[in-house]
Amino acid sequence: MTESLYQEIILDHYRRPHHKGLRDPFDVEVHHVNPTCGDEVTVRVQVVDGVVKDVSYDGQGCSISQASTSVMTDLVIGKQVDEALTTHEAFLELMQSKGQLEPDEDVLEDGIAFAGVSKYPARVKCALLGWMAWKDATAQAVANTVLDNSKEAS
């Protein structure tokens, strides 16, 4: 049943999500929803010295959105913000590929399991929900840091 969509890796992350649950400390918290289906996610991000120190989240949604958010946390926590954003770009590109892209496992690790999702346009938004929330929160966290630094400088 829908094997190309529901890869075992996805089901594993869905049943046993990584880094789930909202944690302190954090710099920014965002709440994103998918208005067409009602899926939602709250993501907290902590950025320290240009590094994604922690990402925690809570949410409700389908297997694709929940598993994708779990995979995202594995991929971005501990990375330099720039590097994490590059990973985000790679995942976004994969999701927009309509099944035409061979994903790079070195970059996306468990994320390659979502290649099949890109063939289901209705589900791409599910896969991107947590990623987009993370990007939003991270951008805010970085902007806040720049703001704080400029305040200190002046």
State the residues that interact with other proteins by CB under 8 A: 1-2, 5-6, 36-40, 60-64, 120, 123, 126
> Given the complex with other proteins, which of 17 and 61 has the nearer CB atom?
61
- Give least dist CB 20 to other proteins, A: 15
- Give least dist CB 63 to other proteins, A: 5
Do the beta carbons of residue 143 and residue 81 sit within 8 Å?
no
Give the strand pairing for 28-34 and 51-60.
unpaired
> Given the complex with other proteins, which of 34 and 80 has the nearer CB atom?
34
> Given the complex with other proteins, which of 1 and 153 has the nearer CB atom?
1
Structure tokens at 139: 């951008």
The H or E element that residue 135 is part of is: helix 121-153
- Give least dist CB 23 to other proteins, A: 23
